[in-house]
Structure 1
């Protein structure tokens, strides 16, 4: 169909713009629209308007002109979607000097392989952030990145992982030096915690290996491996260490501290950890080496009994105006062991505090457990035995004679007495520290930074899919977690560069995965719109923080996130179609800015 549009030119003259269009329906039940097949220009500008319109009519009458002009077919490699969002992560990777470190290391080792360990390591790190999967599945996607064709072979990947395991400690030390140069790092105090990762295998490894059955953080029965992780006060990973899955959390701190102080040349380290790492042996070790600690202390049971009198004594507490928070700080004298295993007297500060919000939460959780216990006492389906309990049984014996008593019956009942005792501790917490110059607010401030390491573990397990682990040998397991460690560091450094506007790692990855393009014939690049998720209207909460409401906004959340990432990396490129040389200039401008 020939379309005649009256348009007003700059000189005020009205002209007739001629184009051939066709109608189409964008979707079922949608109103019809028109697309332009060819534009011919203004009728008034033609030397022979009659001959011009005959040409237009001939074009409109030819059915071949309605066919799609493209000759590109599917599966020819000319229409592949390629990701360029990885370039932002690669910029951080390059600034850390990882490629130079690996090249230098392999040169010293006189590596003569015909494959690139540096290329393999970079690919696995980048892919771990954007598309975490097994090595096999990751290598299958190696053609998915714009301007990068690593040409990896799967056997070479596994060979390279042996070398990655060997340079794991050296690389972590190199990264520490790079971070000190780029950002600065204060290791006056560092946060430490332990978590574990499971393997989907039936049986644990032999002695001396890593995959062992232990106390799983996820309550699984699969063999696990323990990871100890140190982070700094910026939330950036410092070092990681692996232990067999049957290693107790408390047994991991001392060897890691010894290695950290030696390799990182630290004079004094203040360890911040939760109560799972608070043991007499660890406290003694910390003090014996001139270091310090801020750790949480249990209040229930035998270990916390010595604090009950002062905790329940209302005198001496400092409270806020509305009575929702109170604390008590005092100096405690205790006996420990010196390096020669002799007794020595030390002092530390003890902070006991109570929070109404935490008390209400504890009460709610306990009531839920009581409800389950009540149902369990009336329904044996809630008491299914697993693991060791499957082959154990309870027998009643006479205390004096040891004779097994027959004709007895065990009755399940809810222990309300224990619940009442537990309720006394609702909302109470205890922190102990060797630092005698810390006041109550400083103790809580230092300890509160521990959430950063808990979030790091969450990122490792969720966004980076660090488990289940798909490799089996000790060296490959160590290489796998080194890759995860570096990926975590890059994401954390990206967040650090964003400052107060920092996005979650999940949203960073989502935005970068949406940054895709196609390379067209003739050296043109078509970029997809980066978006696809409606944002929510934000409002300020009681703390003055912007939080999402339940109302959608007209903005696209992924698009806004991508704009923030571009701003962070010093770029401003939003062209849908561009020449490849212009797109290359944009890629080269991406740089990590602190």
Structure 2
């Protein structure tokens, strides 16, 4: 009587019991002339409790029969013929490739179809975008990263550093078409009736000392502090955090003049019926205000609406407005207060945070105290020197003391309060009490200029505070996507690098939106890190190749479900480069 069967094609292993002992038999299944299924014993392999060594010999013999290359004389095939290839990350690049195709970014292939290059530009751009999200590195580093991943639906059989550079050149050559194609793909995700868009700029540090014609790498004041060589990056995004467009400028470009260029581009790319532009302090100027008030949306009579923050350096211009407001509403306030008034036929929404005001006032007075104390010590030393007292070290001069204090108050942005008399022969300075009072009047306050008619002051404030999300976008560009430091020298290569990082930010934000809608607390970075554990495996058994993937965990399933993406599968276009 049979105790168990193990099938293998038309033959199977049968374990039978006879006389209280168990035997292993090789049995063949066949059909007789009438078509009935029958079985016949091909060989008895021995007792089950003694068949270990005999079965190993049979297995080796079968392996010799199946091998394409006959073994050398005397050679014996063993389980050592099983060969495993290095595993490669699949889950993260799979998810991003699926998202790329689902959003329609494969349409970029049509844009690059007009290029003279024979390389697959779309595939190489996709490769560089995925690298920014999975393991951001230099273009040379991309080639090393390629050796650790299995890329789905990737046609090129070879990728070199020159291929990547040529793809970047083609990307810039067709930049306007690429941006128009991206806008077409993103339009379904945007509210066509009312779009609140946010615009801000940041600085991106670059390396290198060479000077080129039309160089974007200029020295300017970094948003991270200090002077450095850099370029400027402006990004427009929706209230939901979806990037719409971007621009690159020289590193010493003033922010305010860039506003008109970016707004015109948004209005041209996205035919929405109504736009509310929200921008930060550095973008408010009288020229910008006049220009914005004259803009219309989509060729209609609908005006372009805006919410702009007033720069702190311009608060003195609003002192006549702020003084009565401060006396009546803010001076005795113990918690944040909010209100609005009129300025140049526009709404001026103001907010006052008493806690923040105390902190700013105390910090300024402390800094003034430290500077004036040091100034008094230097003035005393100058007087003592005049009286004949000798000091160790270099002799102090009035011009040197004036230069030190002027530089110190300028760096502290206290030049309007501590005024150094540069015309005097002696070291002289004064504290302007009225300027100090005007500065303290603005402490803890936020001023917003807007022409949006129906939003309450609170809603205007909330819209502006949502601008902080675009600042988080810049942090993502600088951390997860690692846009900086930039080592490219050529202006077009820098523009291509910025565009690749911008597309990566689009994918990142779409992932974040989907994870958030699914109730997941994971960031896209953490989600990709989890999916990276899904590995592609390849094993060679007796001359035949077998492919497979790691088993998916519950966490993997949850992430893919939240992203609305299918689980990884192996196809003929899985590239191992």
TM-score by length of 1: 0.67
In structure 2, C-alpha distance between the alignment counterparts of 1:570 and 1:222, rounded to whole Å: 43
Number of residue equivalences? 467
In structure 2, C-alpha distance between the alignment counterparts of 1:510 and 1:364, rounded to whole Å: 44
* CA drift at 1:583: 4.2
Larger Rg: 2
> Which residue does the alignment assign to 1:464?
481
Do structure 1's residue 525 and structure 2's residue 548 form an aligned pair? yes
With a CA cutoff of 8 Å and minimum separation of 6, indicate the structure with the bigger relative contact order: 2
Residue by residue over 1:558-594, the C-alpha shift from the partner in whole angstroms, topping out at 9 and shown as x without a partner, is x74x454222134686xxxxxxxx9439x99xxxxxx
In structure 1, C-alpha distance between the alignment counterparts of 2:284 and 2:16, rounded to whole Å: 81
SS state at 2:227 partner: coil
> Which residue does the alignment assign to 1:355?
353
* CA drift at 1:239: 0.4
> Which residue does the alignment assign to 2:318?
304
Query: Where does 1:486-497 land on structure 2 (aligned, <5 Å)?
Result: 486-497=503-514
Q: Which of 124-133 and 196-205 deviates more?
A: 196-205
In structure 2, C-alpha distance between the alignment counterparts of 1:429 and 1:240, rounded to whole Å: 27
Do structure 1's residue 584 and structure 2's residue 559 form an aligned pair? no
Unaligned runs of 5+ in 1: 1-39, 60-68, 335-346, 400-404, 531-558, 574-581, 589-594
In structure 1, C-alpha distance between the alignment counterparts of 2:207 and 2:454, rounded to whole Å: 48
* CA drift at 1:246: 1.4
* CA drift at 1:145: 2.2
> Which residue does the alignment assign to 1:327?
338
> Which residue does the alignment assign to 1:515?
534
> Which residue does the alignment assign to 1:122?
126
Give 2:305's match in structure 1, choosing from 253, 277, 292. 292
Do structure 1's residue 133 and structure 2's residue 137 form an aligned pair? yes
Query: Where does 1:6-85 land on structure 2 (aligned, <5 Å)?
Result: 46-47=21-22, 53=49, 71=80, 78-85=85-92
SS state at 2:80 partner: coil
* CA drift at 1:56: 6.8
In structure 1, C-alpha distance between the alignment counterparts of 2:362 and 2:268, rounded to whole Å: 46
Residue by residue over 1:522-565, the C-alpha shift from the partner in whole angstroms, topping out at 9 and shown as x without a partner, is 524252787xxxxxxxxxxxxxxxxxxxxxxxxxxxx74x4542
In structure 1, C-alpha distance between the alignment counterparts of 2:169 and 2:287, rounded to whole Å: 35
SS state at 1:521 partner: strand
Give 2:149's match in structure 1, choosing from 145, 148, 173. 145
Do structure 1's residue 230 and structure 2's residue 244 form an aligned pair? no
Q: Give the superposed CA RMSD.
A: 4.4
In structure 1, C-alpha distance between the alignment counterparts of 2:145 and 2:243, rounded to whole Å: 28
Query: Where does 1:360-375 land on structure 2 (aligned, <5 Å)?
Result: 362=360
In structure 2, C-alpha distance between the alignment counterparts of 1:57 and 1:375, rounded to whole Å: 94
Do structure 1's residue 569 and structure 2's residue 573 form an aligned pair? no
SS state at 1:202 partner: coil
> Which residue does the alignment assign to 1:313?
327
* CA drift at 1:353: 1.4
TM-score by length of 2: 0.69
Query: Cα–Cα, structure 1 residues 299 and 456, in superposed 2: closer, same or farther, change >3 Å?
Result: closer
* CA drift at 1:398: 5.2
> Which residue does the alignment assign to 1:541?
none
Q: Which of 233-242 and 298-307 deviates more?
A: 298-307
In structure 1, C-alpha distance between the alignment counterparts of 2:370 and 2:159, rounded to whole Å: 53
> Which residue does the alignment assign to 2:258?
252
* CA drift at 1:517: 3.6
* CA drift at 1:120: 0.5
Query: Cα–Cα, structure 1 residues 183 and 420, in superposed 2: closer, same or farther, change >3 Å?
Result: closer
In structure 2, C-alpha distance between the alignment counterparts of 1:329 and 1:353, rounded to whole Å: 8
